[in-house]
């Protein structure tokens, strides 16, 4: 039976030390040893059952898994750093003693529920298309959305760049002569998908908040604040289930 092998950058990222991009840089800088020898190749194969990995002189062990729910403000980017000096979500995680990464993204002008973790297996499960994790948004658009436009949004439509959407659940919250407030649930994750869906039927999104991922609710979490989730609460984001 073949022993499981993974690349060195993957060993560090799965241990919850940093992202694969960051760990690749550290490996190339000579900060990582395998069996006492400095390895500068991030794609070096490691057998977890027998190889010993050290980072900055300390043996690499799996960090305790942590799951964070952040109410991301508008005007903030979902990344570790930004070459345009914009605020990032990490500025709202001060005091957290472990590295975490965002599970998926929210565009800069969208606020609401963002999950961050150091559990790569959990993140991969949550993001894989086969999981069909529903994501629910509350928003406001220009104009009055017609019945025909609601049908298009619900049954799928062309949003440009050769992409079409699958079915969604959409309902009107209220409407005036100038604006419509809505709630929409999708199971896909195309770039700026909700905004592009409404643009495709002639409406500009003025406000967009993600309020739910699977069974995990934004609830009363204040804007710019985060809370640490239990493992059960974190797994409720995956189709409303938990690991038992």
Q: Give me the active site residues, please.
A: 107
CA–CA separation, 14 and 117 (whole Å): 11
Query: Which residue in 193, 172, 167 sits closest to 182, CA to CA?
Result: 172
14 in Cβ contact with 20 (< 8 Å): no
**7, β-bridge pairs:** 45
Contacts of residue 20, defined as CB under 8 A and 6 or more positions apart, other chains included, come to: 9, 10, 12, 13
44 in Cβ contact with 34 (< 8 Å): yes
Query: Which residue in 200, 179, 197 sits closest to 188, CA to CA?
Result: 197
150 in Cβ contact with 172 (< 8 Å): yes
């Amino acid at each position: 039976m073949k022993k499981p092998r993974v690349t060195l950058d993957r060993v560090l990222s799965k241990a919850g030390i940093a992202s694969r991009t960051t760990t690749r840089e550290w490996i190339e800088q000579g900060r990582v040893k395998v069996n006492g020898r400095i390895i500068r190749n991030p794609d070096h194969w490691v057998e977890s059952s027998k190889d010993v990995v050290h980072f900055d002189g300390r043996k690499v062990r799996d960090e305790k898994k942590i799951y964070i729910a952040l109410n991301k403000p508008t005007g903030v980017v979902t990344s570790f750093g930004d070459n345009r000096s914009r605020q990032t979500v990490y500025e709202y995680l001060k005091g957290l003693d472990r590295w975490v990464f965002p599970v998926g993204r929210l565009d800069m002008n969208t606020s609401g529920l963002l999950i961050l973790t150091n559990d790569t297996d959990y993140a991969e499960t949550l993001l894989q298309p086969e999981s069909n994790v529903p994501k629910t948004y509350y928003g406001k658009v220009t104009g009055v959305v017609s019945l025909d436009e609601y049908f298009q949004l619900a049954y799928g439509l062309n949003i440009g760049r050769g992409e079409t959407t699958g079915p969604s659940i959409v309902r009107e919250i209220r409407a005036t002569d100038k604006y419509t407030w809505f709630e929409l649930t999708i199971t896909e994750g195309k770039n700026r998908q909700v905004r592009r869906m409404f643009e495709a039927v002639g409406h500009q999104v003025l406000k967009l908040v993600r309020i739910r991922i699977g069974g995990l609710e934004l609830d009363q979490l204040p804007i710019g604040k985060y809370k640490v989730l239990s493992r059960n609460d974190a797994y409720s984001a995956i189709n409303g289930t938990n690991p038992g």
